[in-house]
Structure 1
């Protein structure tokens, strides 16, 4: 059965361009168009699409407000289109908080190396998020820091995510393994998943955390700043030469690779632009995980979260061979069960864990809770 799509944009040119690209795929059907956010809310209730493509900036009702209304009345998977600017990044992150599942740059030349790759990526994203059953989506229990000494909350919690009821993690014993680093890789659905996890970690989290999220370069500074304002741990965009510190999460910059170099107490981050045509993702989970396996051997807890494709599988294999522990997000709580499925199917993960349980399990496993 074809995925039914509602295309929302105030530009007739962009509506036509998106529909022409999507309809090249026989598994996608365009069932309607909307010219502004208000029109989108009404058409969603009327047409009941499987997925919506949505512009951020529109007259009458903007894309963020439209996402809020749609998710409150007729929850539907939404793919945002935005400009690669600081304002566009902030607005897109607001849309993800409001309930949108993923985003793409509005300039197709910014999506991929060539036009064919961009077309395939758009079609694949629409099919992947459009086939998800929205009945599983509810307002998540994203923990916000309220204890003494916690940071103030800079953003309201308006996020949506595929959620499962948390298990009683108090009944699950820690393995007793000693770690020096936590590494987390993710893609589609990752911004909300990372916020869900990181906002629940205590300020005294004992290890550095590496975050590898597929995201454009214009977005990672805003995303790191947003997480830093919400979390009790410190979150920053990684920079060349950063010395890894406990209780600090380092977000790989968009468009670049992040490696760990050095040994013992002298481990630092190397951040660099990668022009290799063999590497699809920049940042790449595989690239970072491989460097972590070399720098830390088996003293690593790696987590692969929701995302398209299989980035992270090869790096997780190297980590596993070195003796590291690998966890994968479970299918039920994943927006797209691609990356964690690749790791699980390869026999690399020791556990598949629901999103709402990850923070508690990390806290218990690392001995700080």
Structure 2
């Protein structure tokens, strides 16, 4: 049986970077680079001619930037697009904006616009192209909805959560996600009430420098208070904590207090932060209901931790339904354990969390 070849268009204003990306991808037997483009305008013309299956695209380019090209492509001819972004604060914000515009995923360039050490993310790049070819593309209304939500959020009153430490935790919400996660998190957290009677701890597979921007964006969109987790944070109901890139999250219980600590223990299944690590940490909590949520993402992170969680009491599990996942990897692996309590489409996850937390 002949394997389907994934046709890729590589877009970057640097000839050196185009050559590097092309060489890396061409090494894989299932990938064929059918062309390159030097800017967004050139990419749009090449798409019509070459009909690629997946596009890798630099964010910052002259004439037409990657973001502008992305908006045009997702409106006219939606395709799976992986953005290549710098690790600067602006680069992180642009990468997250690209997710809103419809990009499937992004790669952080190790050392700026011209990354001589791009080989450090070679395997990640290949893996993401392979998964992107099978990704479920969202309708190109995401950016419009984001802008609408942001305007609505700016008119809201300040967060209802006060500064006191709430030492009563009926439940903790544990969310794990990867590819497609930023938009999925926006959908879920924007629907959770600010007076949720539980703290929310989030692991999103993301490199250092990007999780803080993600937390700030989610904070704008959600009635919850959202922040990047810091070592020693005391958990507060109605607050959400995003694991910082390259750190695992531990939940510690001392009497009636719950707090977070950051860990540099080795990656689990190639991930740090890891959903498995978070779930295993939460399994130690006593007399507290655990609500584990696994959403869109490639791989199986979370499924091993789910097994450990289910050896304890007070656990309910939610997996995102296949029809709304960008990549149906992590929820599929979770369901394969036979330990998932509820399967919900993305738009129904927040409501299910609230029902369990209040039950």
Give yes or no for the alignment of 1:54 onto 2:45.
no
Residue in structure 2 matching 1:290, options 263, 280, 292: 280
TM-score, normalised to structure 2's length? 0.87
CA distance in 2, matches of 1:36, 1:70: 13
Counterpart in 2 of 1:203?
194
Measured after TM superposition, the shift of residue 149 of structure 1 is: 7.9
- 1:144 lines up with 2:165 in the alignment: no
* Corresponding residue to 2:25 among 14, 22, 27: 22
1:295-350 Cα deviation digits (max 9, x unpaired): 24661110001111111111111111113111111222111111111111111212
Q: Name which of structure 1's ranges 239-248 and 38-47 shifts more when overlaid on structure 2.
A: 38-47
- The answer to whether the 8 A contact 1:144-1:231 is kept is no
Give me the whole-angstrom Cα distance separating, in 1, the residues matched to 2:79 and 2:213.
26
Deviation at 1:117, TM superposition (A): 7.6
Taking the TM superposition and a 5 Å limit, the aligned residue runs for 1:155-194 are: 179-194=170-185
Distance across 2 between alignment mates of 1:102 and 1:147: 25
Between the aligned partners of 2:154 and 2:264, the Cα distance in structure 1 is 40
Q: CA deviation at 1:91?
A: 1.1
Tell me which of 327, 350, 359 is aligned to 2:341: 350
Offset of 1:133 from its aligned partner? 5.3
Deviation at residue 277 of structure 1 after TM alignment: 6.0
In the TM superposition, residue 118 of structure 1 has moved relative to its aligned partner by: 3.6
Mapping 1:1-369, distance limit 5 Å: 1-107=4-110, 118-132=121-135, 134=137, 137-140=139-142, 144=149, 146=152, 150=156, 179-274=170-265, 276=266, 280-296=270-286, 299-323=289-313, 324-367=315-358
Q: Deviations over 1:166-211 (max 9, x none)?
A: xxxxxxxxxxxx9511000011111111011101111111110000
Distance in 1 between residues matched to 2:237 and 2:223, nearest whole Å: 13
Give the distance between the partners of 1:315 and 1:297, measured in 2 at CA: 19
- 1:238-279 CA-to-partner distances (Å, cap 9, x unmatched) read 1111111110000001111111001452111111333x2666
Distance in 1, matches of 2:111 and 2:323, equals 31
CA distance in 2 between partners of 1:318 and 1:147 (Å): 38
Contact kept? 1:151, 1:230, Cα under 8 Å: no
Distance in 1 of aligned mates of 2:269 and 2:12 = 32
Segments of 5+ residues of structure 2 without an aligned counterpart are: 159-168
- Tell me by how many angstroms 1:8 deviates: 0.5
Structure 1 unaligned spans of 5+ = 153-177
* Cα distance change, pair 6–207 in 1 and its aligned pair in 2 (3 A): same
Match of 2:165 in 1: none
Q: Give the conservation status (yes or no) of the 8 Å contact 1:201–1:232.
A: yes
Aligned residues: 337
- For the residue of structure 2 that corresponds to 1:325, the secondary structure is strand
Asked if the contact 1:150–1:203 (Cα under 8 Å) also holds between the matched residues in 2, the reply is: no
Instruction: Give the alignment's Cα RMSD to 1 decimal.
Output: 2.5
2:107 is paired with a residue whose SS is strand
* Alpha carbons of structure 1 residues 50 and 239: separation in structure 2 relative to 1, 3 Å: same
* Alpha-carbon distance between aligned partners in 1 of 2:153 and 2:16, rounded to the nearest angstrom: 50
Q: TM-score, normalised by structure 1?
A: 0.85
Q: Distance in 1 between matches of 2:88 and 2:207?
A: 10
Residues 40 and 147 (structure 1), Cα distance of their counterparts in 2 relative to 1, 3 Å cut: closer
**SS at structure 1 position matched to 2:310:** helix
C-alpha distance in structure 2 between counterparts of 1:57 and 1:117, whole Å: 20
Partner-residue secondary structure (3-state), 2:323: coil
